[in-house]
Amino acid sequence: MKKVVIFGAGVAGQDILGEIRKNRDLNLKVIGFLDDDPKVQNTNILKVKVLGGRQQFSQIINKRQIDEVIIAIPSAEGEQISEVVRLCSQAKVSFRIVPRVKEIIEGQAHLSTLRDVQVEDLLGRPVVKSDVQELKRFFASKKVMITGAAGSIGSELSRQISAYKPNKMIFFDWWENGLFELQIELTKDYPQLSSEYIIGNMQDTKKVKNVISRTKPDYIFHAAAYKHVPLMEDNPEEAVKNNIFGTLNVARAAVANKVKRFVIVSTDKAAHPVNVMGITKLVTEGIGKLLNGKTKFMAVRFGNVLGSYGSVIPIFKKQIEQGGPVTITDEHMTRFFMTIPEAAQLILKAASLGKGGELFVLDMGEPVKITDLAESLIRLSGLVPGRDIKIVFTGVRKGEKIEERLFSDSEQNLSHKSDRIYITQSLGLDLNKLKVSLPKLKQLSVTGQRTKIIAELKNLVFSFSR
């Protein structure tokens, strides 16, 4: 029989205890509770003793020969969960977690909901969720187009919007394999969905015009972009062609075909940009402001997305699987993080709230140290940082910031908050300057004049200091 302790003597922990008692065939024996509240320590709850808290953790695990810890503190801050994970890792004891409060739809903890701890649990924020009925009404009888539909954000948008039963979905991407896999998934999950899967590049002006004029979408979610900072530093002409003029192609076609709403997926790197990728995304926000009118343009800005293609989490996991080392550019580096579903929910919420011209930014709490994130991932793999897996600092790469910001100062001053979402205006560049710069950047990107492209970007955005 497996010996377990339940960390958390509250309602969730008591629910788990009750289920274990009812299901003898689970072969689990609850030895006791662990809880940091001194008022309950050394008391009995449902005839099970609260043995101690974090201070006594290692001693209890070793003395009682515990096989598994069930973490049942769904309302806890991420820092507290991280500490329990660290203690489990050091004690070499397996662990599972009760999902966070907002994930438990039934309002009750069940053994069937127990799962491995995920890095999302360590963020310390409940996931942002939208009003399902409101979004059903928003998408009812609407045609929706998603650019970059096969990417991390685009594919999650595709899944979530398809669930709201729109009239038709148009999935647009140049990535054949990704779009093929998305088609298989959505055809299986939503067999009644009217949809088109279109291979194409948003830099192809004629293709974009033809697709939008033929399908006549009501809403466009523009998630297509180049996003890797070091690569865009080395290839600024491609960043300009794709991120700026690809966006302009889609946006102009949207206006010409009376699309009702156009949502631009942006990034925190657009706030006081110091790299090519960030500045091109700031320009896309500016394009939305320039063209805003009968077609309502809005931008959604957020930080790093956990588990997205090319993000640090998959890279760290692969390095851990290979025995390390885990490589980090700088020990002081921090980033804002959110989950892929959370990012998609923010985008959908912005689309339904927007009146045109706004910038939406999630209140993402405190930034996370990349070193802490790496150490947590190592512990989630049942290993000890520094002993089993080394962490190596490699130096800041071209175009990287040590810390990101979500707003420029002027944007922050104008912002107001609605249900953990800031609503403000994108003010990082002069729109009159942008009108003058766009033709110049077009010509320079076509001819590949990198030095002049950088000079023009510097002229356009004062914070760009490359």
Tell me the catalytic residues: 269
The two structure tokens encoding residue 451: 């030095």
Radius of gyration of the chain (CA): 25
SS3 state at 234: helix
Nearest alpha-carbon partner for 220 in 245, 191, 252: 252
Length of the chain: 466
Give CA torsion, residues 220, 223, 226, 230, to 10 deg. 140
- 334-335 and 368-369: which strand pairing? antiparallel
Phi/psi of residue 196, nearest 5 degrees: -130, 140
SS3 state at 200: coil
Angle, CA 90 vertex, CA 88 and CA 91 arms, to 5°: 65
Element counts in the chain: helices (H) and strands (E): 17, 21
Judge whether 302 and 267 are in contact, CB under 8 Å. yes
Distances 178 to 149, 154, 199, 242, 386 between C-alpha atoms, Å: 9, 11, 10, 19, 37
Judge whether 73 and 81 are in contact, CB under 8 Å. yes
- 304-306 and 168-173: which strand pairing? unpaired
CA distance 227 to 239: 9
Encoded amino acid at 298, one letter: M
Residues 2-14 as b or e (16 or more Cβ within 10 Å = b): ebbbbbbbbebbb
DSSP state of 293: S
Reported as half-sphere exposure (CB side, CA atoms, 13 A), residue 6 has a value of 30
- 44-45 and 48-52: which strand pairing? antiparallel
Nearest alpha-carbon partner for 404 in 437, 379, 368: 368
- The dihedral sign for the CA sequence 398, 402, 404, 409: negative
Distances 263 to 243, 269, 422 between C-alpha atoms, Å: 14, 18, 16
